[in-house]
Structure 1
Amino acid sequence: MPYWLMKSEPDELSIHDLQRLGQTCWDGVRNYQARNFMRNMQAGDLLFFYHSSCPQPGIAGIARVARTAYPDPAALDPASPYFDTKASATKNPWSAVDVEFVETFKQLIPLAELKAQSALLELPLVHKGSRLSVMPVSAEEWAAVLAMR
């Protein structure tokens, strides 16, 4: 089973929000590589839920893909910050997936600690300048992160 990491700003959607909601649409991804990763996700795949663009970025917990990729409804909503004027009901280049809550870590695993782990040297997240909001995680990287919690 493939593993993933997905980034969210906690003031938009935090692991605690997902816990309260149970399940939600993960939309608004506007990078083609990240979108393509989402299109490869399968129901049941696990993902690390990463808090980004906040005072203490890091992995906050685990979620699961509940629904595979479908056209991103936010691209068609003029009131959405993710609205795309080139998207239409018949031609929407963007995708969303539904994710469901699995677990909140007792403590967030900070980015600095992730960068210090030799087992995570190939994880795009720890590379300077990596801005992908969705990325694959190898089984070895998954195990290394779980051992840190």
Structure 2
Amino acid sequence: MNYWLVKSEPFKYSWEKFNKEGRTFWDGVRNYQARNNLRDMKEGDLVLFYHSNEGKAVVGIAKVVKESYQDPTTDDKNWVVVDLSPVESLKRPVTLEEIKADERLKDISLVRQGRLSVMPLKANEFDRIIELAG
């Protein structure tokens, strides 16, 4: 199993809306590195859902329920989406400040490549964030 983190601005697509819908395709990715990460996602992989800009915190866990396919919002064959489904909300959000302050998370992509919207996580990074959530 692989682990990932995806970012969304809550006013565009919030964790709450995701939970109401129960499933979504992760679209709008227009960065090649993030796109390549989408292509590497496999069904069953776990994904941390991060609210960017407002909140700046990991708020929930999702899973990949359909592997990459053509982004239906564009005719450009360069871009793909994956389908995600919510698994559970974290007991409490884990803020970017907490992540930056944690010695075990100092090399996480969220800190090193803050603008990347889809990023891989190591199993120990994923586990540590879950641990910080209580």
Q: TM-score, normalised by structure 1?
A: 0.86
Once the two structures are TM-superposed, the CA of residue 107 in structure 1 deviates from its matched residue by 2.1
2:70 aligned partner: 71
Q: Give the % identical residues.
A: 44
Cα-Cα RMSD: 1.0
Number of equivalent positions: 133
Which of 57, 81, 106 is residue 91 of structure 2 equivalent to? 106
1:130 aligns with 2:129: no
Q: TM-score, normalised by structure 2?
A: 0.95
* One-letter amino acid matched to 1:21: E
Question: What residue ranges of structure 2 are gaps of 5+ in the alignment?
Answer: none
Q: Which has the larger radius of gyration?
A: 1
Once the two structures are TM-superposed, the CA of residue 130 in structure 1 deviates from its matched residue by 2.4
Decide whether the 8 Å contact of 2:90 with 2:130 is kept in 1. no
Once the two structures are TM-superposed, the CA of residue 14 in structure 1 deviates from its matched residue by 1.1
Q: Please list every run of at least 4 consecutive aligned residues from structure 1 whose deviation after the TM superposition is greater than 2 angstroms.
A: none
* One-letter amino acid matched to 2:132: M
Once the two structures are TM-superposed, the CA of residue 18 in structure 1 deviates from its matched residue by 1.1
Partner Cα separation in structure 2 for residue 75 and residue 108 of structure 1: 33
Question: What residue ranges of structure 1 are gaps of 5+ in the alignment?
Answer: 77-86
